[in-house]
Structure formats: C-alpha cells, structure tokens
Amino acid sequence: MPARTQDRPTEVTAAGIARLAGVGRAAVSNWRRRHADFPKPVGGTETSPAFALREIEQWLRDQGKLAEVPLRERVWQQLVGHPAGAAAALRQAGAVLLLAHDRPAAWQQLRAAADDAELTGVLPAVLDAVLAARLGPGHPVRGLTREALAPSAALVRATGDLAAADGAAAAYDFLLGRHLDANPRQYTLTPPGPAALMAELAAVAGPSGTVLDPACGAGALLAAAREHTAEESDGGERDAGEGDAGESDAPVTLYGQEADADLAALTALRLALGVPGAQVRVRAADTLRADAFPDLAADAVLVHPPFNERNWGHDELAYDPRWEYGFPARTESELAWVQHALARLREGGTAVLLMPPAAASRRSGRRIRADLLRRGALRAVIALPAGAAPPNGVPLHLWVLRKPGTTPPAPQLLVVDAAGAPAGRDKPDWQTVRTIAVEAWRTFDRDGGIEEQPGVRRSLAAIDLLDDDVDLAPARHLPPPAAAGGPAELARIRERLTTTLARTTALTPRPDGDAAGPARWPLTTVGELARAGALVLRAGGAGTAPAGGAAPAVLTDHDVLGGDAPSGTLPEAPASGPAEEPVLLQAGDVVVPVLGGGAVARVTDDSTAGAALGRNLTLLRPDPAALDPWFLAGFLRGTANNRQASSYASTATRLDVRRLQLPRLPLADQRRYGQRFRDLAAFEGALRLTARLGEQLVQGLHDGLTDGSVTPD
C-alpha cells in the first residue's frame, strides 16, 4: 500500500459515518440529500465517496447526532488514516497490545512516565523484546523503528486505552476483523465452520502437539486447532467465552507460513494475543519455493491452499524431495500442497486440506492420486455443501491424509457426501455437516471400515478405484439414497400420493358465479392504507444473528415462491458492532416478493411466526379491525394488479408494493372473499405436495429398476 502524505486528512466512508452516529447507511444518504451543509466528499469514487473525518465529526456534533466518538471508532479511524497505511498501523497497534497483554505493569509505567517523543523513542526496543519472546527469532512483525513510530504516539496511547477497556485480545480481534472486512478482495479467509471441522478431523492427540498451516492466511485454522485441542484437554467442558485463559494451559506449538508479509505479521500477532499458552512461530515466505520449516515433523497439518495456481514453482522445483508421490503437473498446484503437507508430518500424523472438487478427478493428477491410495496416505474424501468457503458456488472437498508408517494400513478410502446436508439460503448447517463427517471419519479410522449409508458414506478398497481416471469424487461412488428404501419406501410414497390426490380432488374449487362482467369497486392502494394506519409496511433483509444466542430462521423469497418453511439463516453480527434486529413475522402477516414479476402473496401462520423476514420481501401487517389478511393477499395476487404495479425498467422486474390495489369493501364482505382465497391456498398447497410426491415416486422407480431393487413385475 503506498504511503500517504501526513497532511492528508483522515477519510471516512458512509459506512464509517453510520457507525460513528449509530445509524444505518440509509440515514447517512438522507442527511446528504436533505442538509446543504453536509460535508462534501474529499476522495473515493462517485458511488463510494470518502469524507474528511474531522469535518464529519464536527457536523455530527453540530447536529446533535454525536456526543463523542466511541473509543473503538477513534482507534480505527487513526489506523485507516495513518501515513504508512492501515496494515503498518495495525502492526504497531498489535505489538503495543501484546506488550500490554504480556507485561501490563511495564506498559503502564512506560506510558505514564514518558511524553509522546520519549514514548515512541523507547518503544522499539521494548516491543522487539516482547515480540522475540513470544514469536521467536525471525518473526515477521517488522518495521517498528523510532522513525516509523514517530507519527503514531496518539495511536499508541489510544490503543492502550482500548486494551484497558476491552482486553488486549478482544481489541485486536476487533481491529483485525474490521481491516479484513474492509478489504474482502485482498484476502481469502477460511470461515469458522470449515475451520472447526478441519481441526476436529485432525484431532491432535494431547494438548502439547504441534500444528502447521503452511498457507495460514489470517490464522483461522491454527486458532481453531488450538481451540479444539484446549476443549479436548479440558474434557469438552471449556467455556467458549474463556478466550483469555491463563498461561497455565498446556503448551501447543503453532507453525504458520504466509507469502503476504503484512498478513503474516498480523496473523502472528493475532495468534500470540488470542491463543494463550501457545508457542507461535509464523514466518513470511512462499511455502513451496522457500519452506520456512524444512525439518518440522508436525502432529497435524491444516491447509486451505490457493486454488488453480499456475505460478506455484513448477519449473524450479522439479527435483524437490517433497514429491514422493509424483511430480505435480503445472495445473495441479493443489497436489503440490498435498505432498508438502505429508512431507511435514510425523509418521502417523494427520493432514486435512480444503480442496477444489476438480482435484479429485482431473486426469492430469490421476497418477499421484493413485499412489496416494496405494500407499494408504489418502484416507478420506469428504464433499462439503456449496457455500462452505470461497468460491461459495462450488461444493468443496476435504481430503484427510495420514503419513504412512512402517506398517501402513490396508489401502481403503472413506468417501462421505455431506453436500446434501440441510442448509439455509446463505450458509450450510455446520452442526449437521460436522455430525456426518466426524462420526464417519472416527468410525472408519477406529475400525478400518464403515457400514455403508447410501447417498452419505461408504468405505472403498483402493484397488477398486485404480482405473484410468482414479476419480475420487464421493458422489460418483455412493448409491443414491432414494433407492435405499427399496420397494417398501416407494410403497409409502405411493400411499401418500394416493391420499393427497384424493384430497386435491376434494379441494378442487368450483368457478361458481353469474356476474355479467368485472365489478366496478372503488379502489385504494397499499400505500394509502399504510398512510391511513390500516396496515404496517416493512422491508426485509435487515438483521444479524446475536453473538452466542439463538437466531431465528429466515423466510426467504424462494421459500415464499415454493410454499416452503423458512430455510434461511441470519448473517453473523460484525465484530465492530452489536447485532441488528431483524423484522420478525407474526401470524396473519402478508408477505410479498418484490422481484421476479410473479403474482404471489403468502399469509403467515403460527408455524412461520417468529421467523425473520428475508431479502427482496415486503411485509404487510394489516389491522384486523380494518383488513382481513386473506382478502388482502388474495387481491394482491391478481394478474392485472401486479402488471400495473410492476417496473420493467431493468432486466429484473420489480414490484412496487405501495401501488398494488384492492377494493374498498366492508369487513364482512372482505371475510367472505378471504375464506374463498384461503380455500384456494389449501388447494394450491395440495397440488404442490402432489407434484413433489409424484417426482419422488417416478425417480425412485427409475433408481430401483436400474439398481435391481425393484423388478419389472
């Protein structure tokens, strides 16, 4: 990042202004439109302008919208406005937090006795000593010189205040988390779900083990490994909130390597602050070209390697001794990481790698995959649901490897498909994924095999996989679950279908009526009803899950269109602020999708009440003394009504719910129409169920006939 001139004002975006004032982004946009004296942008772009922080703070104070800048925001704004850039400032802040954490008395004495010039002059030697003690010689936290710290006296003191207020580890987690969130394209992060699963699969034996991540990024895998080890050593009773446990914890050594020097430094500080009792050794270098730990024999290796990397060192590493299972092709960088992980394990040690699904089947890697199988090094391939980690549209795999000893096990491979585990729209259900994967792996590892569960897991002899392709994708080796039930399950589906067909016939409505033509009712709009107080209008999509608390399911637009139960999940609250309250549904609410151009409106019942309202949905909450919800929903679904309220200005048709019309009728007449609309909804639900059961029966019969579990007779 280029250095900034010191006379340039600290800048803040609209999101930062919203955090300063404790409001949403929409409020900041409104202020800009409504107040002629709102500060003008000093940088950024037309779509994402930046403003001078000092001008914004003064304007907020003048408007009575800001009494004092919160300490967290003050430190953050000093970081992003630092002349050397945010990453360099974050290194300085992290080193000061480590000093305050490890030697609190020395830090307080130094801070109280020194003025700004003396403080920044003495600090380099003190910080070097603390960093060397915790991170070892050759650590990556560089550049903490007198000259570098000279412009940072205010940041140093504010960071100390933040450590006293929040605790050093929590303060650094906040600052690093905000930095990573602000630069999403610069860093590829491993989410908490797969990180915890990988750590549990590796299962370091004992709390004094060694764990290596040779592509450690922001340190998520190493932190998860230490957390899992601590839980195991405490018998699983460790309180998740005790992140600052004392140094009495049994030692574990965490080794990490990261090519990005700035990120390596920030990760070393994160682990040193957030993983008490651990020896931390993080180095900055390209792992495949310049291995920082060539003599290491780790108990476990956890890796989320870069995918599809062509420039990984193919030309200069042809004779590297790590390629024990074959020299990887230029297009097989992931298999280079696999062999590096095996080379840094002790005999019997476990490696878990997050891999792209193509690595299990590309022909260019078949010889290496075959040798990994023959020698018993590759023990399991586990398919994860899409959305586990970037790229989120691809269902990634976990490879579990064990370094062969003098007596390798009989070559067997466990294949597990957790891709079909239940999931919300935004992310997988990690508790279900963990149960499927960990139970299968532990049983297989203990017994050398496992009972087959069609569609989910299976143990295969390596020799059965050694064909021309050596394709290890789990889905290709598992019988479909639909056929597993056999004729008995298909008979149950047929019985349900028969019952549902009979109910559908009974519910089929009659189009009775002898009206001469369309009615000419006096009409009103949803917008007019909202202004009159007859209903409340709310937009969906807001809200975050509370930390450590139960979060409601989310009703998504797909759920409304398909007539399904709420399936989405709320995003986690950002580290920088409290959880945002979602819009919660009540029985009798009417929910309308605003995208897609379809005529759909759903009345929520008791089974859906309490769910959060998802994106691209609008909630209409009628006053029962003025509006019948079924009457409202029924008229909103009229085709002509939707056509006149829809916008066709873009490729996605958007519904302006306020323009939807309905007739002005007495409440008694509304209820008559509402009952008929309720009957139509029941008929529609029966049709949907009939279609689903029919599809299950047809596919089940195809599967049964093709695998022999159902005979033609």
CA dihedral (420, 425, 428, 432) positive or negative: negative
Collapse the DSSP code of 706 into the 3-class scheme (helix H, G, I; strand E, B; otherwise coil) and give the result.
helix
Count, in order, helices (H) and strands (E) of the chain: 23, 22
Measured distance CA(677)–CA(602) in Å, rounded: 11
**What was the pLDDT predicted at 232?**
62
Amino acid identity at 599: A
Residues counted in the chain:
713
**Phi, psi of 43, rounded to the nearest 5 degrees:** -175, -160
Q: Residue 474: what pLDDT?
A: 93
Write out the H or E segment, with its range, that includes residue 416: strand 412-417
Residue 202's pLDDT is what?
Answer: 92
| Cβ atoms within 10 Å, residue 588 | 18
Sheet of 602-603: strands edge to edge?
535-539, 617-622, 590-593, 602-603
Q: What is the DSSP string of 283-335?
A: EES-TTTS-S-TT--EEEEEE-PPSS-S-SSTTTTTT-TT-TT-PPPTT-HHH
- 3-class SS string, 371-402: HHHHCCCEEEEEECCCCCCCCCCCCCEEEEEE
Residue segments in the chain with a per-residue pLDDT below the cut of 70: 1-10, 67-69, 204-208, 230-251, 276-277, 408, 421-427, 481-485, 512-517, 547-549, 573-579, 596-598, 647-652
Strands 590-593 and 523-525: unpaired
Largest CA distance in the chain: 95
Per-residue model confidence (pLDDT) at position 650:
47
How far apart are the C-alpha atoms of 202 and 205, rounded to whole Å? 9
Residue 134 has phi, psi (to 5 degrees) of -90, -35
Q: What is the pLDDT of residue 256?
A: 96
Query: 681 CB contacts (<8 Å, ≥6 apart)?
Result: 603, 630
Q: Can you tell me the distance from the alpha carbon of 370 to that of 212, in angstroms, rounded to the nearest whole number?
A: 25
Q: Are strands 554-555 and 612-613 parallel, antiparallel or unpaired?
A: parallel
In angstroms, what CA-CA distances link 209 with 14, 202, 228, 229, 247?
46, 11, 12, 9, 16
Tokens 């990005």 belong to which residue? 260
